[in-house]
Structure 1
């Protein structure tokens, strides 16, 4: 029996050092078999010279990087321009990675929470200035600043002063299996209530709420829990009813579903010997547990673009406007509500987890949008073992964005 790998400590600082790049590492990818890349785009699209050239370049980058599989999607002027899979969803069975392949999208999941928060505000559950302790059944207070409340807006912009302190030895964040062994509510109580087993004073920064940017998955999931309390249902169900169903995202869900097993991509960790990952799940699922196909992600991105222009159907126009309005300025970028606004006018998010790397974004100026996803980690924290994988991922992203923005 192949031993199960240990999950490394999770990356938590997407865009901390660059407003463009995901959390990029690089680890050696070996043994990846070359394949003819799967065709998803419609026949009329493949006749386009620019699309054909893009496909050739993208396929070459994927092949040399030995990413197991890859999905690339492009929308322009409200139309799906490109949707294609490359490589393998399952290397052992040689199953192609396609637009219908489903896999987790890591921290891109947080963009759902942005919509859910604005929907909760529309429904009167709270507003951005609401102190979280006005809602929670337990108290969350920075012991260094006990008189300064943590507010909804702080959780929504990574400025709460809460930081993630889980280590590799603590299995609560991720567990092998289809569902986690603890509820979100129970985890958050253990994490924030003094004297409980996961409580640490170091979980709070030595800075008052709202004063500095510090990416936090725990703070993100705490915000989702506020919605659970006010809505009287799980966050998963709230998103299902208010986002997945209205947009008819039929592949979108949170935890492993046996009925969809044939559609899932296998996930791989690029260690010195590439390692297949068994199914794992996370208690903090709101921050990174969304599972979806590339084609459904493009439908979601279409709604995001329409929402930006004031024509979305999930939220009122003023709610969408607030979603993309800068709420906090950090070094090199500005923060909307779970969206990063870059100096060149892009609005982006992305993620990297165990066996996952992805990037989503759009350019309002050119009315173009893009999505890419691969079933291996490209986390930046250890790029010494495979700088080529990191560089290839960055090159692929640039190629995709440039193609999306072409007139």
Structure 2
């Protein structure tokens, strides 16, 4: 008995030692990537369905104040926000509030249809699979509402990009808040002030894939209509509270989130911003909180019910019906992984889990549009992927 106990203790210590050694190795590699990059700060995690096996922050959440970026630093995650929308749609269907294969005009207070295919209804599922034929127009950029004017830092940038950045800053500084319903109606209803047939694809709904942020916003708006609650309140009740994601949500002047990172665009700090809509982006979280969410989805993928039924998870993350389609319920699904990535002013983000080993990988960076920032984030992701198989637990 004593020999068996000794063996068990030895195995536990050995396993712990391997994990600690892997942690040191990956930390060293990530520090090397950070030191040669232009990223200001980032956080990472490797996780499984039960726990985080590695997590750490690097660099600064505020470079000017030398405030470190930690796993509790809160920042927007851009289009990864759509993964919560996928869960929300499945939950709404479970609650019998909507049916994914119903036409969106069953629920909307105004009509949206592709003018080239007036008799072909657009369904909620087509919104979620990016096959709706709804396109993002230039007017989509009206969605960003900055709390203060963006400084004219473009004057310090290379001449070949100064003009484009100047125009972007001018557009963002002139954006005005409006309701999500008006923002959608103005673009896609024939009475809208920005409406044009060019806001729709030449292909019929359901026949071709084209990524659409506004499709996501329409889906979130439908959840509001059928639930009688704001989209943010619906997610709070059905996702954030059950998973105890207490540091997450949507930032606004009336709801400032704590421990928020400064965002760096072209290497310069920019003011806080929010969105007119909520479905396609703008969700704010940290490594610790989002790991809870991704672990829950991995559990669902393994057949375990949590915030939605196991059958809903199975439907949500099954392979797309067509090789030409790339998404199912707003989740990117390929032969190896399931998840999403994102990019917004001052934000680059990745969150995926591997089908084979059920390991999740998260990277949140508070910088964008700097030299080689995308390449650096991909290097970080590949480093995490390399080590993800080497943790015992």
Does residue 315 of structure 1 match 2:308?
yes
What is the aligned partner in structure 2 of residue 173 from structure 1? 143
> Corresponding residue for 1:393?
377
Structure 1 Cα separation of the partners of residues 272 and 341 of structure 2: 21
SS at match of 1:246: coil
1:236-247 mapped onto 2 (5 Å cutoff)? 236-247=232-243
Question: Aligned match of 1:121 in 93, 100, 107?
Answer: 93
Could you tell me whether the CA contact under 8 Å between 1:158 and 1:215 is conserved in 2? yes
Post-superposition offset of 1:281: 1.3
Alignment correspondent of 1:352: 343
RMSD: 2.1
Show the counterpart of 1:109.
81
Residue 63 (structure 2) aligns with:
91
CA–CA separation in structure 2 for the residues paired with 1:280 and 1:260: 11
Alpha-carbon distance change, 151 to 73 in structure 1, aligned in 2, over 3 angstroms:
same
Q: Distance in 2 between matches of 1:294 and 1:217?
A: 24
Q: Which residue of structure 2 lines up, in the alignment, with residue 138 of structure 1?
A: 110
CA distance in 2 between partners of 1:224 and 1:327 (Å): 21
Q: Which residues of 2 match residues 254-333 of structure 1 at below 5 A? A: 254-256=250-252, 263-270=259-266, 274-331=267-324
Aligned position for 2:198 = 202
Give structure 1 stretches of 5+ with no counterpart: 1-43, 379-384
8 Å contact from structure 1 (residues 180, 281) kept in 2: no
CA deviations 1:207-266 (Å, max 9, x no partner) are 000111111111110011111110011111100110011111001111236775650100
Deviation at 1:93, TM superposition (A): 0.3
Aligned position for 2:126? 154
Assess if the C-alpha contact under 8 Å between 2:133 and 2:200 holds in 1: yes
Aligned twin of 1:183: 179
Deviation digits for residues 310-358 of structure 1 (CA, Å, limit 9, x no counterpart) = 2131111110100101234354x74221111122x21121101000000
Counterparts of 1:259 and 1:149, CA distance in 2: 37
Deviations 1:76-117 (A, max 9, x none): 362210111000000000000001100100000000000000
Please point out which of 334, 338, 341 is paired with 1:342: 334
CA distance in 2, matches of 1:46, 1:58: 18
Deviations 1:51-87 (A, max 9, x none): 1011000011012102100101011362210111000
Determine which of 15, 20, 43 is the counterpart of 1:48: 20
Residues 355-405 of structure 1, C-alpha deviation per residue, up to 9 Å, x if partnerless? 000000111321211101100125xxxxxx83x333222211111112123
Q: How many residue pairs are counted as aligned between the two chains?
A: 350
Which residue number corresponds to residue 216 of structure 2? 220
Residue pairs, 1:3-18, within 5 angstroms: none
Q: Does the 8 A contact of 2:22 with 2:390 survive in 1?
A: no
More helix by share: 2
Change in CA separation of 1:45 and 1:78 when aligned onto 2, cut-off 3 Å: farther
Secondary structure in structure 2 of the residue aligned to 1:172? helix
Q: Deviations over 1:267-311 (max 9, x none)?
A: 0112xxx22111111112221110111110111111111111121
Cα distance in 2 for residues equivalent to 1:65 and 1:150: 44
**In 1: Cα distance, 2:201 partner to 2:255 partner:** 43
Higher CA-based Rg: 2
CA distance in 2, matches of 1:47, 1:219: 43
| Aligned counterparts of 2:109 and 2:18: Cα–Cα separation in 1 | 56
The TM-score with structure 1 as length reference comes to 0.82
